[in-house]
Amino acid sequence: MNEKLVNGEEAIAWGAISAGVKVVTGYPGSPGTEVMNCLISNAQSYNITTEWSTNEKVATEVAIGASIAGLRSLVCVKNVGLNSMLDPLMVLNLTPVNGGLVFLIGDDPGAYGSQNDQDSRPLAHLLEMPWVEPANAEDGYQMALQCFSLSEKYQIPFFIRITRAYGKESGLIDFQEHFDHQLQVPENVGDRFIPNPQNSVLKHQTLQTLTERLKTEVMDSFNDVNGEGGLGIIASGHIYSKVKNVIEEDSWEDDICILKMGAIYPLNEKSIIDFLKSVTAVVILEEHHPVIECQIRTIAQCNRLQLHIHGKLDNFFSSSGELFRWQIKNVLEQLCPEIEVSAKFTIENEQNEKSTVKSHCKNCRYDEVLDLLDEVCHAHQLKPFYLADPGCLVTVTDRIHAKYAMGGAVALASGFSKAKTDHFPIALFGDSSFFHSAIGAICDASHHRANILMVLLDNGSALTTGGQAHPGSSKAKRPLSMSLIAQQSGATTYEFELGSNKQKEILAKAVDPHGPTMVRIII
């Protein structure tokens, strides 16, 4: 037995290693980065190729290519990164995979480190690919191991969804030594990997047939039922661990019956009906939207099951933020006062753990950049309007005017400039964001000759997520010049190091643009 004490994210990484993963791609962002970091640390020992891709769409397509060639592949992203991946994913569901392909999606209920409070689970129904969610580290390890095998057997990608709280908790896993697994490149592939107008409907029908098989043959293996009481609890993913934290050991099995739901999509209606028939009332515990609750209520109604269902739709819980243990405790005390619950979980000791400044942001100099921009704009009688990307600008959020998605600042500024107001649009973005998706916006701004100032803040890495390298980093094998790329894209370019003697002189030239102008400020 080779036991390892790991956190939730590391457990999934070790499960992928045991499964023989060979290619791992991703884009930095938490939750999810620790899975990638663990695999990077062990890549040489287990002959794994890892890469931080320029964005999540590229990460997805690199992994798809590796899967076509027969390699087991894993993609690690956070919730907002999934949004960037939808274009290839919405056709990947129609093309059977070759090597096992798994996507790790990190959701962030409560938006502890994200610009939104996104629930990714509704996308499972859009994508029509199987989704699972682990309750604890051992679950995470076993799910990763199982998903690669199932992906290959059924020739469809699997998604594993985790949350911030799951990643923080530790547990023991029984690590099984990995094996080298590599399929052959398929021969005579025909249109296997080519969805098009002629075959897409037929491929979609094939997918729907496969979904029905997965319901009956696979998805219940991710679920478990404990207890025999009249009150049923359906606990999704890591919420099951929170429930087990709240209820005292050996105090509940005669009073409540818990369905530990690791399967998010598709659900096996038959096993759900069997569970609902075994209880007189049910409470559905999940974070964010009532995704599972809506399905459970539909199943109950369609089968004319007479039982009380409690959840988000009758205001038992909020449909936003994290579901805390104290909230679960209050519900159990209300619905089943016979069971013993832990008194240690209170609002006070489960306060939000949000931190306004990450440790690697403490010496951030972006206030200096904005001070400099304010000063130069004032000297030229300009009213700056700051449009920014998420990421490093977290420390100066109170000084910017708009911020949406990665790579969005340039396009926002370009659109803003069309109004020809008395405000001067300035796009603020980082070097990692430049490669992520700003390049396309720079080309578009140049094509339409938008009179905007683009300020590229270059600290040499994706700093807020841990300093990961990008194609322009000094760590890159052949660093690319962002100034030259912008210049070749049609922008006028300047650059200086923050604090240099000529910074005001250079910036004064840049704030009088004739078409898009980019200033690279080296932090």
**Which among 80, 107, 84, 85 has a CA at the least distance from the CA of 8?**
107
Instruction: Tell me what the mean pLDDT of segment 161-167 comes to.
Output: 95
Share of the chain above pLDDT 70, in %: 95
Give the residues across from 426 on adjacent strands. 386, 453
Residue 474: per-residue pLDDT: 73
- What is each CA distance from 35 to 7, 26, 28, 38, 105, in whole angstroms? 10, 10, 10, 5, 11
Cα separation values, 150 from 31, 90, 122, 147, 153, Å: 24, 20, 22, 5, 5
Confidence of residue 356 (pLDDT cuts 50, 70, 90): very low
Task: Report strand pairing: 223-226 vs 23-26.
Answer: unpaired
34's CB contacts (< 8 A; 6+ apart) are: 7, 9, 10, 13, 167
Beta strand 131-132 with 263-265 is antiparallel
Pick from 497, 499, 500, 494: nearest CA to 518: 494
Q: Which residues pair with 521 in a beta bridge?
A: 457, 496
Residues contacting 265, CB < 8 A, separation 6+: 121, 124, 125, 129, 130, 131
Q: How confident is the model at residue 355 (pLDDT cuts 50, 70, 90)?
A: very low
481-507: pLDDT as tens digits: 999 999 999 999 999 999 999 999 999
Bigger pLDDT: 60 or 185?
A: 60
**Helix H segments across 386-430?**
408-417
**Which comes out higher in pLDDT, residue 348 or 125?**
125
Give the tens place of pLDDT for each residue, 16-59: 999 999 999 999 988 999 999 999 999 999 999 999 999 999 99
Amino acid (one-letter) located at 111: A
The more confident residue out of 250 and 2 is: 2
Kindly indicate the confidence band of residue 353, based on its pLDDT and cuts at 50, 70 and 90.
Answer: low
Q: At what angle do helices 8-18 and 137-154 cross, to 10 degrees?
A: 40
Q: Kindly report the CA angle at 428 between 424 and 433, in degrees rounded to 5?
A: 145
Q: What is the 3-state secondary structure (H, E, C) of 73-118?
A: EEEEEEHHHHHHHHHHHHHHCCCCCCCCEEEEEEECCCCCCCCCCC
Angle between helices 269-277 and 291-302 (to 10 degrees): 80
**Per-residue pLDDT for 194 more than 80?**
yes
pTM of the model: 0.92
Site of tokens 């392909």: 101
* Cα radius of gyration (the chain): 25
Question: Could you give all domains of the chain from N- to C-terminal order, each with its CATH number?
Answer: 3-217 (3.40.50.970), 223-350 (3.40.50.920), 359-522 (3.40.50.970)
Q: What are phi and psi of 131, to 5 degrees?
A: -120, 140
Residue ranges in 261-396 assigned as alpha helix (H): 269-277, 291-302, 325-335, 366-379
Tokens standing for residue 72:
């087991």
Phi, psi of 106 (to 5 degrees): -100, 110
Angstrom CA distances, 267 to 110, 143, 272, 298, stand at 26, 16, 8, 12
> What is the average per-residue pLDDT within 443-465?
86
Query: In terms of Cα–Cα distance, which of 77, 96, 67 is closest to 32?
Result: 77
**pLDDT 10s digits, 95-151:** 999 999 999 999 998 888 888 889 999 999 999 999 999 999 999 999 999 999 999
**Three-state secondary structure along 122-176?**
HHHHHHCCCEECCCCHHHHHHHHHHHHHHHHHHCCCEEEEEEHHHHHCEEEEECC
Look-up of token digits 């250079």: 506
184-193: burial string, b at 16+ Cβ within 10 Å, e else: eeeeeeeeeb
Q: What is the mean pLDDT of residues 176-203?
A: 84
* φ, ψ for residue 4, nearest 5 deg: -130, 135
- The full 3-state SS of 231-292, as one line of letters, equals EEEEEECCHHHHHHHHECCCCCCCCEEEEEECEEECCCHHHHHHHHHCCCEEEEECCCCCHH
Best CA proximity match to 222, nearest among 278, 283, 159:
159
- The residue assigned the tokens 């934290």 is 245
Q: What is the sign, positive or negative, of the torsion defined by CA atoms of 225, 227, 231, 233?
A: negative
Our measurement of the distance from residue 69's CA atom to the centroid of its chain's CA atoms, rounded to an integer in Å, reads: 26
